[in-house]
Amino acid sequence: MDKATILAKQRQFLWPNHLLYYTEPLPLVRGEGLYVWDVEGNRYLDFFAGILTVSVGHCHPKVNARVKAQLDRIVHTSTVYPHENHVTLAEKLAQLTPGALQTSYFTNSGTEANETAVILAKVYTGHQEIIALRHGYSGRSALAMSLTGIASWRIGGTHVPGIKHAPNPYCYRCPLKLTYPQCGVACAEAVEDVIKTSTSGKIAAFLAEPIQGVGGFITPPPEYFRIVVEIVHHYEGLFICDEVQTGFGRTGTYWFGIEHWGVEPDIMTMAKGIANGLPLANTITRPEVAAATAGAGLTISTFGGNPLSCAAALATIEVMEEMDIPAHVAKVGALLRAGLEQLWEKYPIIGDVRGMGLMQGVELVKDRETKEPAPDAVNMLFEATKARGLLIGKGGAYGNVVRISPPLTATQEHVEEALAILDAAFSEVQEAFG
Ligand SMILES: Cc1ncc(COP(=O)(O)O)c(C=O)c1O
């Protein structure tokens, strides 16, 4: 099918609220490693990885072979029958995740994983209220949109009551108008104020991402989670750590983002990068927390933890272990970060560079003094990078953050190629914006 036909059918048969990148959306047909090809045969270096999902590169031969083999044995079982892949993956994740996280419930998306986590926290604690963060993103269901702290992602209003949003650790635009480190991480203490003033005084959970993804790769100061989690436990809540974007080595050095700060979540959710693009998510917790679900009511997931997705996840993790992905990402991520900081020196339109590992955000502003967001500059950068054969992502409550997050198998050569294209594209954008 040619490009014009695909785009015409998209407009005619799919809802208009599908967010599509680029002035002329880009139909992709093929992927291999770090590269994807569009329907007209143009090749792109993929530095967004299908929203931080293609962990070990497109169509990784080992992952695909494992999926193909499983396809011919059994495709579907549902959670009412145990399956070897399901239990093996659960055991593997018990080993990879920090602390006492041991028992899993697999579903199909990050949204469902967060839903599952919130329900678990309510069942375990007997409390109802949840604290989430402004600028956080939790998914697209009624509950997940209500947890989300960005107005434009909350279609149809607030659906679920009992969720309160605390100021987030956004140092570049501090919600408390303070400066780190003199602030004493006051945003962490603010969580206690929210609990004391806006809830019944006992909470079921605090849910947060180690680095806010859709929010624009907002990276907290190192003390933040230790302070907040102590407060949350004091008010009888559980800490739900949403690792949907930050999991599986994305932030470098560790398998999960929260490990950078030595904090153990009570519940962790993961999806995206777990299965190299096949739909799979997991909610993992301590055995005694999971035990609260026994007798609490019935639940199934028809597609959750299906044999194909679990096969893909097991192979993806195997590849990541063979390559020591956390160490590899720390190394290659440092090169990417250094290159982006050089671009910051060159182009005043870049207000901030932040993130960890291969999760680097670049916030664009009209003026470094006023920090007025420059979403138009991001749109122009998108066209300029696409024209030069590079795919990137965007985010932020003001639409002015570039999200750079290639597959975790990116090499120094890929990073250099991306930085050269970004340099040329930023030069064009800077000229246009003065
Ligand atoms: C941190 C975070 N949590 C949850 C979700 C929802 O995941 P999904 O789109 O798989 O439902 C996303 C998706 O971008 C996310 O970034």
Question: For the segment 241-251, what is each residue's pLDDT rounded down to a tens digit?
Answer: 999 999 999 99
Query: From the CA of 113, how far away is ligand 1's center (Å)?
Result: 9
Tens-place pLDDT, residues 134-172: 999 999 999 999 999 999 999 998 899 999 999 999 999
Q: Using CA atoms, how far apart are residues 132 and 83, in angstroms rounded to an integer?
A: 35
Q: Residues 314-319: what's their mean pLDDT?
A: 98
Task: Report the atom number in ligand 1 closest to the C-alpha of 111.
Answer: 11
Q: Residues 211-217: what's their mean pLDDT?
A: 98
Q: Using CA atoms, how far apart are residues 381 and 386, in angstroms rounded to an integer?
A: 8
Tens-place pLDDT, residues 261-291: 999 999 999 999 999 999 999 999 999 999 9
The sign one gets for the Cα dihedral 68, 70, 76, 80 is: negative
Which residue owns the Cα nearest ligand 1 atom 13? 139
Q: Using CA atoms, how far apart are residues 47 and 385, in angstroms rounded to an integer?
A: 11
Cβ(374)–Cβ(364) below 8 Å? yes
Q: If 0-12 CB within 10 Å is exposed, 13-18 middle and 19+ buried, where does residue 5 land?
A: exposed
> Quick one: pLDDT band at residue 198, thresholds 50, 70, 90?
very high
CA nearest 400: which of 366, 367, 364? 364
Cβ(354)–Cβ(363) below 8 Å? yes
Is the pLDDT at 357 greater than 90, yes or no?
A: yes
Which residue owns the Cα nearest ligand 1 atom 8? 110
Task: Report the atom number in ligand 1 closest to the C-alpha of 141.
Answer: 11
Q: Residues 172-199: what's their mean pLDDT?
A: 98
Query: From the CA of 196, how far away is ligand 1's center (Å)?
Result: 29
pTM: 0.98
Proportion of the chain above pLDDT 70, given as a percent: 100
Task: Report the atom number in ligand 1 closest to the C-alpha of 140.
Answer: 11
Q: Residues 179-205: what's their mean pLDDT?
A: 98
3 state SS for the chain? CCHHHHHHHHHHHCCCCCCCCCCCCCCEEEEEECEEEECCCCEEEECCHHHHCCCCCECCHHHHHHHHHHHCCCCCCCCCCCCHHHHHHHHHHHHHCCCCCCEEEEECCHHHHHHHHHHHHHHHHCCCEEEEECCCCCCCCHHHHHHCCCHHHCCCCCCCCCEEEECCCCHHHCCCCCCCCCCCCHHHHHHHHHHHHHCCCCEEEEEECCCECCCCCECCCCCHHHHHHHHHHHCCCEEEEECCCCCCCCCCCCCCHHHHHCCCCCEEEECHHHHCCCCCEEEEECHHHHHHHCCCCCCCCCCCCCHHHHHHHHHHHHHHHHCCHHHHHHHHHHHHHHHHHHHHHHCCCEEEEEEECCEEEEEEECCCCCCCECHHHHHHHHHHHHHCCEECEEECCCCCEEEECCCCCCCHHHHHHHHHHHHHHHHHHHHHHC
Cβ(252)–Cβ(86) below 8 Å? no
Task: Compute the mean pLDDT over every residue in the chain, rounded to the nearest whole number.
Answer: 97
Which residue owns the Cα nearest ligand 1 atom 7? 110
Q: Using CA atoms, how far apart are residues 387 and 381, in angstroms rounded to an integer?
A: 10
Instruction: List pocket residues of ligand 1, CB cut-off 6 Å.
Output: 51, 109-111, 114, 137-140, 209, 213-214, 242, 244-245, 271
How is residue 303 written in tokens?
């597609």
Which residue owns the Cα nearest ligand 1 atom 1? 244
Is the pLDDT at 434 greater than 90, yes or no?
A: no
Query: From the CA of 269, how far away is ligand 1's center (Å)?
Result: 10
Cβ(366)–Cβ(374) below 8 Å? yes
Cβ(104)–Cβ(270) below 8 Å? no
Is the pLDDT at 89 greater than 90, yes or no?
A: yes
Q: Using CA atoms, how far apart are residues 112 and 116, in angstroms rounded to an integer?
A: 6
Number of neighbouring beta carbons within 10 Å of residue 198: 12
Would you give the distance in Å from CA 279 to the centre of its chain? 14
As a dihedral over the C-alpha atoms of residue 20, residue 26, residue 27, residue 28, rounded to 10 degrees, the angle is -110
> Quick one: pLDDT band at residue 339, thresholds 50, 70, 90?
very high
Query: From the CA of 213, how far away is ligand 1's center (Å)?
Result: 9
Q: Using CA atoms, how far apart are residues 317 and 27, in angstroms rounded to an integer?
A: 29
The overall longest dimension of the chain from CA atoms, in Å, is 64
Query: From the CA of 249, how far away is ligand 1's center (Å)?
Result: 17
Q: Residues 285-308: what's their mean pLDDT?
A: 96
Domains defined for the chain, CATH in brackets: 3-56+326-433 (3.90.1150.10), 64-322 (3.40.640.10)
Query: From the CA of 252, how far away is ligand 1's center (Å)?
Result: 20
Tens-place pLDDT, residues 322-337: 999 999 999 999 999 9
Of 137, 207, 240, 403, the residue with max ligand 1 atoms within 8 A of its CB, to mutate for a pocket test, comes to: 137
Q: What are the backbone angles phi and psi of residue 39, rounded to the nearest 5°? A: -65, -20
Query: From the CA of 420, how far away is ligand 1's center (Å)?
Result: 30
Query: From the CA of 424, how far away is ligand 1's center (Å)?
Result: 31
Q: Using CA atoms, how far apart are residues 40 and 434, in angstroms rounded to an integer?
A: 34
Note the pLDDT of residue 158: 83
Is the pLDDT at 83 greater than 90, yes or no?
A: yes
Tens-place pLDDT, residues 402-432: 999 999 999 999 999 999 999 999 999 999 9
